[in-house]
Amino acid sequence: MKFLISPAKTLDLTSTPSIDLVSQPELLDESQALIDTIRPYSPADIASLMKLSDKLATLNVSRYQEWQQEHTKENSRPAIYTFMGDVYTGLDAYSLSESDMKYAQQSLRILSGLYGLLKPLDLMQAYRLEMGTGLKNTRGANLYQFWGDILVNKINDLLDKDELLVNLASTEYFKAVNKKKLTSPLITPNFLDEKNGQFKVISFYAKKARGLMARYLIENRCNTLDELKAFDLAGYRYDSQQSTKDSPVFVRPESAQPKK
């Protein structure tokens, strides 16, 4: 079983990783091509393109200028310890054991607008380039056209015959993967929380739940759909009535949600 998650806008650039192992991104030539495309943009251009404040736009223009294709421990950090946000709160990489992290290195991949596909311990440099950005480039009008079939081909190479691919990424990011060309079964879990007596997707909770499930799959070395359905962290339970073959649904009653 292999599984995918999204990156995050917020970055942790100071905490010390709990494991001193790193690897290199596989698509740095592609990343360099994107950096070369976006470097001429001014802060005003970036603010308009990404709908950012002037402060954030200026920060990220500086990051594009400083970005180097050679990734070292001096100028980069492992991706799993750099991305912050709800998914990564659920995953809680800092508390995973070295054995768990080595397993994650084989099974987990992070989709990225700049890097395409990252292993957890791949070195990365600070950036802001969401997959949905309409950045005109040599291959088209946006990042979906830039990445084309590169990501699905990399994912197919990763998967053994009939091995499950679990999509824990957001719609924006998974759209970059050409589903029609996947060579293995695709499973997309959904997480519903109760509110006013009805079960619905609550974005904040669903993002954290995707991280929790990634952690669960890592710690339990899950390989089958039945093992995935046993997911029970933070009060979620599999709901067979709302589930379909490819989209298992996990529900959580209001009583099990964190107290506000």
pLDDT single digits (tens) 84-137: 999 999 999 999 999 999 999 999 999 999 999 999 999 999 999 999 999 999
Residue 259: pLDDT over 90: no
Span 182-194, mean pLDDT?
96
In whole angstroms, what is the distance from residue 190 CA to residue 201 CA? Answer: 8
Q: Is there a domain that residue 194 lies in?
A: no
Span 159-186, mean pLDDT?
96
Please give the pLDDT value at position 42.
Answer: 97
Please give the pLDDT value at position 260.
Answer: 66
Q: Is there a domain that residue 227 lies in?
A: no
- Counting the structural domains of the chain, the total is 1
Q: Is there a domain that residue 156 lies in?
A: yes
Please give the pLDDT value at position 255.
Answer: 87
Residue 126 sits in which domain range? 2-188
Q: Is there a domain that residue 178 lies in?
A: yes
Average confidence score pLDDT of the chain: 96
Give pTM, 2 decimals: 0.96
Span 151-168, mean pLDDT?
96
Q: Is there a domain that residue 256 lies in?
A: no
Q: Is there a domain that residue 200 lies in?
A: no
Span 14-29, mean pLDDT?
95
Q: Is there a domain that residue 120 lies in?
A: yes
pLDDT single digits (tens) 217-235: 999 999 999 999 999 999 9
Q: Is there a domain that residue 49 lies in?
A: yes
